[in-house]
Structure 1
Amino acid sequence: MNEAVIPSLTMVRRIKAAPAAVFEAWIRPEILARWWGPHHTMVHTAEIDARVGGNFRISLVEDSGARHTVSGTYAEIVPEQRLVFSWAWEATAELVSRVTVTFRPVPEGTEVTLVHDRFANEATATRHRRGWTESFERLAASFETAA
Structure 2
Amino acid sequence: MAEAQPLEQEIFLSLQRTIDAPVDQVYSAWTDPELMRKWFAPGELKVARAVAEVEVGGTFLVEMHGTDGESHLTRGVYREVIPNRRLVHTWQWEGSDIESLVTVEFEPGSPSTTQLTLTHSRFADSEARDRHEGGWNGCLLKLSALFPGQEIRSAATS
Same fold (TM over 0.5): yes
Partner of residue 139, structure 2: 135
Partner of residue 108, structure 2: 105
Moved over 4 A (4+): none
Task: Report the residue type matching 1:15 in the other structure.
Answer: I
Structure 2 residue corresponding to 1:95, chosen from 80, 95, 98: 98
Structure 1 residue corresponding to 2:88, chosen from 80, 84, 88: 84
Which structure has the highest helix share of the two? Answer: 1
Counterpart of 1:136 in 2: which secondary structure?
helix
Q: 1:12 offset after TM fit, Å?
A: 0.2
Partner of residue 30, structure 1: 34
Decide whether the 8 Å contact of 2:60 with 2:89 is kept in 1.
Answer: no
Unaligned stretches of 5+ residues in structure 1: none
Q: 1:5 offset after TM fit, Å?
A: 2.9
Q: 1:91 offset after TM fit, Å?
A: 2.1
CA distance in 1, matches of 2:30, 2:128: 22
Alignment of 1:1-147 (within 5 A): 5-92=9-96, 94-108=97-111, 109-144=113-148
Decide whether the 8 Å contact of 1:6 with 1:121 is kept in 2.
Answer: no
Decide whether the 8 Å contact of 2:27 with 2:106 is kept in 1.
Answer: yes
Superposition RMSD in Å: 1.4
Decide whether the 8 Å contact of 1:70 with 1:87 is kept in 2.
Answer: yes
User: What TM-score do you get using the length of structure 2 for normalisation?
Assistant: 0.86
Counterpart of 2:80 in 1: which secondary structure?
strand
User: What TM-score do you get using the length of structure 1 for normalisation?
Assistant: 0.92
Decide whether the 8 Å contact of 1:80 with 1:103 is kept in 2.
Answer: yes
Task: Report the residue type matching 2:148 in the other structure.
Answer: E
Task: Report the residue type matching 2:26 in the other structure.
Answer: V
